[in-house]
Structure 1
Amino acid sequence: MTTGTPPPTAPKRSRARTFVPLAIAAWAVLEIWLLTLVADVAGGFTVLLLLLGGIVLGAVVTKAAGRRAFRNLTETLQQMPGRPGATAAPAAPAGGSKGNGFLMLAGLLLIIPGMISDVAGLLLLVPPVRAVLGRYTQRSLDRRMRSAAPGSFSDVFQQARMHRPDGKVVQGEVIRETDPQQGPSRNENPRPPLTP
């Protein structure tokens, strides 16, 4: 009779890994069923026009949101302190800069062929819907960050604020003074200096 270690137990499968593939499969089946239903009522050419219109509108929305995001990034980088022509106080973001992520998602949903994704993409194009979803997402993210366990990703930012409240990063290196005749001790491992 041998006494060995117990057999390893398989890690528990998360609910997301279980239900997300099922939800995607159900969504695809529902999209195909709706497309065939619309094709029976309105004809195949109408369905083709609807799909092509969704692709074109989605591409236009995605391109516009991408340009706006790039413009906002460029303006932010130009206003960084220490840059020529930078203002003393950062300017407030433009009113249309919020919701670029939802506009990109709307464009992607419009590009994906299907009626449900097109309706969801068109709903995301409505500014009040984007505003409500943005507030909900922000509250949800804030709640998750507050309830994160110590040592998690959010804790890193909290620690950084405690050590350097001004947020400045000073690059440098630590130099240990050793006796030149004795040399480095056995426990120390000399390392080359950090270079940018």
Structure 2
Amino acid sequence: MTFGAQQQTVNSGPPRRSRARRIVPLVVAVWVVLEVWLLTLVAGAAGGWTVFALLAGGVIAGSYVIKRAGRRAWQRLTQSLQTPGAAPAPAPAEGGGNALTMLGGLLLMVPGLISDVAGLLCLFPPTRALLRGSLERRLRRSGTLGEAFQQAQQAQQTRMGEGKVVQGEVIREDAPPAPRPGDPQLPR
């Protein structure tokens, strides 16, 4: 039961889709058609076994790259957790973070030659630096995601610049409190 005036909703047809939601399926479909066409072209020129070897090599190389990047990220995380009060270790300046490296490994694992080339571009250091720069600029210009990106960068700069330590006392609930000097001893 509702009280008050009821509002009428005017439905002028189906909701409008954003431009990205209209274009992304088309881009994916064109990409798949190009991948299949290129694979058949290479198979006709070099043979089916060559294409199979290229695809299998891409899967193996991509899984190796992802495993290695994940291991580096895990090592940086465990190192930062082992030193209490220390800021997380920043990513090396020449390699940056692991996001583009993992994306490159994932693109190598996707069957197709165009995705392999895109994955290698993500792994090659000069092109990875160009990609990182352009992605950072786009993230800064975008709306909400850009704000989150800027907050993350400010937090990283704060952690790297000065480490603020909050003084306090840790109280463990599972251990009995230690006797303090001057407190009377309770019989057990």
Whole-Å separation in 2 of the counterparts to 1:90 and 1:59: 26
Between 1:43-52 and 1:95-104, the stretch displaced more is 95-104
Deviation at 1:92, TM superposition (A): 5.0
- TM-score using structure 1 length: 0.64
**Letter of the aligned partner of 2:127 in structure 1?**
V
Whole-Å separation in 2 of the counterparts to 1:63 and 1:135: 25
Which of 87, 97, 100 is residue 99 of structure 1 equivalent to?
A: 97
Q: Which residue of structure 2 aligns with residue 141 of structure 1?
A: 139
Post-superposition Cα deviations, 1:90-120, rounded to whole Å, max 9, x if no partner, equal: 7654446623100100000000000100111
Change (3 A) 1:93 1:120: closer
Which of 74, 77, 82 is residue 78 of structure 2 equivalent to?
A: 74
Matches of residues 122-133 of structure 1 in structure 2 within 5 Å? 122-133=120-131
Change (3 A) 1:59 1:108: same
Change (3 A) 1:24 1:91: closer
Deviation at 1:137, TM superposition (A): 1.8
**Letter of the aligned partner of 1:5 in structure 2?**
Q
Q: Which residue of structure 2 aligns with residue 21 of structure 1?
A: 25
- In structure 1, stretches of 5+ residues that fail to align are 170-196
Change (3 A) 1:91 1:101: closer
Change (3 A) 1:80 1:113: same
- In structure 2, stretches of 5+ residues that fail to align are 1-6, 156-162, 167-188
TM-align CA RMSD? 3.1
Change (3 A) 1:11 1:64: same
Query: In structure 1, the residue corresponding to 2:142 is in which secondary structure?
Result: helix
Identity %: 51
Which of 36, 60, 63 is residue 59 of structure 1 equivalent to?
A: 63
Query: In structure 2, the residue corresponding to 1:99 is in which secondary structure?
Result: coil
Conserved in 1, the CA contact under 8 Å of 2:77 and 2:88? no
- TM-score using structure 2 length: 0.67
Q: Which runs of 4+ in 1 moved over 4 A?
A: 89-93, 166-169
Matches of residues 179-194 of structure 1 in structure 2 within 5 Å? none
Change (3 A) 1:136 1:44: same
Q: Which residue of structure 2 aligns with residue 194 of structure 1?
A: none
Deviation at 1:18, TM superposition (A): 0.6
Q: Which residue of structure 2 aligns with residue 5 of structure 1?
A: 8
Whole-Å separation in 2 of the counterparts to 1:99 and 1:93: 5
Q: How many residues align?
A: 148
Whole-Å separation in 1 of the counterparts to 2:47 and 2:64: 26
Post-superposition Cα deviations, 1:163-193, rounded to whole Å, max 9, x if no partner, equal: xxx9999xxxxxxxxxxxxxxxxxxxxxxxx
Change (3 A) 1:61 1:139: same
Whole-Å separation in 2 of the counterparts to 1:125 and 1:98: 11
Deviation at 1:80, TM superposition (A): 4.2
